[in-house]
């Protein structure tokens, strides 16, 4: 299985074949989590360091479970316990961790580009677990794995991504992946949350939720991160919710077999109403489940192919 990458820094580096290779293998890895003994010896003796500069329970846990199910030793280094707060530079921290010979460094950071910088400086494989507003490739891959469980083909699927596009790495990674797989993407939100030049990524821009979801096969609701906004992005959460919150009422305009994704954690009643979450269209827990399998797949592929196929 040729997977010619040392690191997974972003969807931008992956070809269509790479993405499909990952998704195919993910289906096999899903089975492991259904076994009585949810563990295979594949990465026995390997070390995976989760280096999280940003708090994140679910992504970190997902990587941790994925590594452990492959029998790797998983160590968590978080922003609060690491040396970062002691004035040590990012690179010092990375060099120190590298001196302990990990095989994979999983990195989450609030600044775009940090995984790229680390990958250039250190030898082990780097997986981007979310960098600033740039990319979150494993999230996009688990979203695709979830879509694949419910739709025949990627090609021609219509997707509406709704919310704060400006600050969303989930949106960016998904757009890149979905365009690569031949899907049609519309981003939806107020103009203040849609960054300049969005059309150059090959997506349609809409400011009207009902209109945008009318023919969608997939609706992806993004989390509104209140802490990320200065007061000029939108007037109030209330007005945002009225215009762009997904409710059962608005969902009536959508296709019967539409599926709804959300990267979590959900602000119930803000971007998505409780009745929609319970509606059966909503696949949030499937996403979480697929997240473990996708991350197992990547660990397996990166370590298996690394020596012979340096980036």
The residues binding another protein (CB under 8 A) are 1-3, 24-25, 27-29, 31-32, 35-37, 39-43, 46, 70, 89-91, 109, 111-114, 116-117, 131-135, 169, 172, 195-198, 200-201, 300-301, 303-309
Rounded Cα gap, residues 93 and 83, in angstroms: 7
Query: In sequence order, what are the residues at sequence separation of 6 or more whose Cβ sits closer than 8 angstroms to the Cβ of residue 190?
Result: 207, 233, 234, 240, 243, 244
The residue among 165 and 216 lying less far from another protein, judged by its C-beta, is 165
Closest approach, Cβ 255 to another protein, in A, equals 29
Closest approach, Cβ 80 to another protein, in A, equals 18
Closest approach, Cβ 311 to another protein, in A, equals 13
Rounded Cα gap, residues 27 and 93, in angstroms: 35
The residue among 31 and 152 lying less far from another protein, judged by its C-beta, is 31
Q: Cβ distance 271 to 223 under 8 Å?
A: yes
The residue among 65 and 90 lying less far from another protein, judged by its C-beta, is 90
The residue among 24 and 249 lying less far from another protein, judged by its C-beta, is 24
Closest approach, Cβ 305 to another protein, in A, equals 6
Closest approach, Cβ 244 to another protein, in A, equals 19
The residue among 1 and 99 lying less far from another protein, judged by its C-beta, is 1
Q: How far apart are the first and last CA of the chain?
A: 15
Phi and psi at residue 2, to the nearest 5°: -75, 120
260 backbone φψ class: left, alpha, beta (φ>0; ψ -120 to 50):
beta
In the structure, how many helices (H) and strands (E) does the chain have?
A: 11, 9
Closest approach, Cβ 234 to another protein, in A, equals 17
Q: Which of 278, 172, 274, 149 is nearest to 222 (CA)?
A: 172
Give me Rg for the CA atoms of the chain: 19
The residue among 185 and 251 lying less far from another protein, judged by its C-beta, is 185
């Amino acid at each position: 299985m040729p997977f010619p990458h040392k690191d997974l820094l972003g969807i931008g580096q992956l070809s269509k074949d790479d993405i499909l290779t990952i998704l195919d293998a993910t289906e096999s890895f899903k089975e492991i989590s259904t076994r009585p003994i949810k563990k295979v010896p594949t990465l026995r003796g390997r070390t995976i360091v989760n280096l999280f500069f940003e708090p994140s329970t679910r992504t970190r846990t997902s990587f941790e479970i994925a590594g452990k199910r492959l029998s790797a030793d998983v160590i968590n280094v978080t922003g609060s316990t690491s040396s970062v707060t002691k004035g040590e530079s990012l690179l010092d921290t990375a060099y120190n961790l590298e001196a302990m010979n990990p095989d994979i460094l999983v990195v989450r950071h609030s600044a775009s580009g940090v995984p790229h910088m680390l990958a250039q400086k250190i030898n082990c494989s780097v997986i981007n677990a979310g960098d600033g507003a740039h990319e979150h490739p494993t999230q996009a891959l688990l979203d695709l794995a979830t879509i694949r469980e419910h739709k025949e083909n990627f090609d021609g699927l219509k997707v509406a991504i709704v919310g704060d596009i400006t600050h969303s790495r989930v949106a960016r990674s998904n757009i890149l992946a979905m365009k690569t797989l031949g899907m049609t993407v519309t981003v939806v939100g107020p103009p203040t949350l849609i960054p300049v030049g969005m059309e150059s990524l090959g997506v349609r821009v809409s400011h009207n939720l009902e209109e945008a979801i009318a023919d969608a096969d997939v609706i992806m609701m993004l989390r509104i991160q209140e802490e990320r906004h200065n007061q000029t992005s939108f007037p109030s959460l209330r007005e945002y919710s009225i215009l762009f919150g997904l409710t059962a009422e608005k969902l009536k305009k959508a296709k019967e077999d539409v599926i709804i994704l959300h990267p979590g954690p959900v602000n119930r009643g803000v971007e998505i109403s409780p009745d929609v979450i319970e509606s059966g269209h909503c696949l949030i827990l499937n996403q979480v489940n697929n997240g473990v399998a996708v991350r197992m797949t990547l660990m397996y592929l990166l370590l298996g192919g690394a020596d012979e196929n340096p980036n």
